[in-house]
Amino acid sequence: MDNALILRFTKSYPGGSTIEADLQLDTRRSSVTVLFGPSGSGKTTVLRCLAGLERPEKGVIRYGDEAWFDAEHGIALPPQRRRIGYLFQEYALFPHLQVDENIGYGLGRESKRKRNSRVAELMELFRLQGLENRYPRQLSGGQRQRVALARAVAPTPRLLLLDEPLSALDNVARGHLRAELRQLLLKVGVPALVVTHDRIEAITLGDQLAVVIDGRIEQFGPTQAVFDHPANRAVAQAVGVDTVLPAEIVGTDDGLVVVQTGSIRLYAVDTGESAASSVHLCIRAEEVMLERHVPEGTSARNHLRGRITSIHPEGPVMRVRLDCGIPLTAVVTRRAHDELNLRENEWVTATIKANSVHLVS
């Protein structure tokens, strides 16, 4: 492959953990690849080695016919010469520079006229007009993210690296910006590698998914394929604990979207993420509440009667699986488990707020 990105390297830490990366990406198409895995699995290290911010001990990193790193031949290109764009976790905007100066920072070698027109072009693409003279501290979380992305994209990098791009945002903003981020990445047209530990983010953002567990890439493939057919138990545990179900949008009701999966209908908040009628609905186990009886006078929109199929203790919490016509997983505290006196085969009501039902195309 002409523009393949090949990484095959080992990096170990004094603490004893070792990162072994082995991945080959076709960067001719502008696709988004997600490095997904639990916190501390080594995803960020892979990204930092790619950027040249850390140096592996062994192996190679090649981009096309260009060697970025080659331990045997003593090659280690500094970050300045790799032409990559890096989006840091908290965005790392330069606090003493205004928005336009931040975006233009990487264009130092261009003429002033070229620099200004490139900055103006990006300000428009990222909907930042009018914010030219603001300082980063005067921006909202979403605006900061767009400035950071515009800044990374400005010097026309060959590859974009994004480290937990949404983790610095609050919950509400995160929901809105997930879909927007994907649109922006596609618009920019630069192949991107995104690190996240969030399943919903992985599903929304990625065309391809690489699952990283304990420093190794355990599975790599199209996102849906990895979620549907985890290669092994570790991957299944990483991707498969929450509820992910195919569903159809069947209507709207008072601003809410009604989705049907199997015989069950659920309300979801329309975040405009999916125009298509066939979607996947994702529910985090943490956002499912369990009650003995059908509650009266609650703000939550979705109540499902279901039978408990299994209860597994997981540290301070219990993972409860239900059959409500659809399989559903809930996580409750041990105390709640005791107070509700939950047992297998008993009937309970699962309550899910409409904005906890995430729709993903």
Tell me how far apart the alpha carbons of residues 88 and 47 are, in angstroms, rounded to a whole number.
10
What Å distances lie between residue 215 and 20, 51, 313, 330, CA to CA? 6, 17, 26, 29
> Smallest distance from the beta carbon of 276 to another protein, in angstroms?
36
> Smallest distance from the beta carbon of 147 to another protein, in angstroms?
12
> Smallest distance from the beta carbon of 80 to another protein, in angstroms?
5
| CA max distance for the chain | 72
Beta carbon nearer to another protein, 52 or 306: 52
> Smallest distance from the beta carbon of 42 to another protein, in angstroms?
18
List residues binding another protein (CB under 8 A).
51-53, 78-80, 83-86, 88-90, 92, 94-96, 105-106, 108-109, 137, 151-152, 154-155
Q: For residue 218, what are the contacts with CB-CB under 8 A and spacing of at least 6? A: 211, 212, 231, 232, 234, 235, 238
Classify 291 as helix, strand or coil. strand
Beta carbon nearer to another protein, 94 or 347: 94
Beta carbon nearer to another protein, 95 or 315: 95
What Å distances lie between residue 326 and 70, 110, 357, CA to CA? 51, 58, 14
Q: DSSP state, 107?
A: G
Beta carbon nearer to another protein, 13 or 347: 13
Report the chain's C-alpha Rg in angstroms.
23
> Smallest distance from the beta carbon of 20 to another protein, in angstroms?
23
How far from each other are the two terminal CA atoms of the chain, in whole angstroms?
30
Beta carbon nearer to another protein, 90 or 121: 90
Beta carbon nearer to another protein, 161 or 342: 161
Instruction: Provide the residue type at 93 as one letter.
Output: L
> Smallest distance from the beta carbon of 111 to another protein, in angstroms?
16
Question: Which pair of tokens denotes residue 219?
Answer: 């599975």
Rounded to 5 degrees, φ, ψ at 275 are: -85, -25
> Smallest distance from the beta carbon of 88 to another protein, in angstroms?
5
CB-based contacts of 103-107 (< 8 A; 24+ apart in sequence): 103/128, 103/147, 103/150, 103/151, 103/154, 104/154, 105/151, 105/154, 106/151, 106/152, 106/154, 106/155, 107/154, 107/155
Beta carbon nearer to another protein, 93 or 249: 93
Beta carbon nearer to another protein, 84 or 226: 84
> Smallest distance from the beta carbon of 155 to another protein, in angstroms?
6
Instruction: Count CB neighbours of 236 within 10 A.
Output: 15
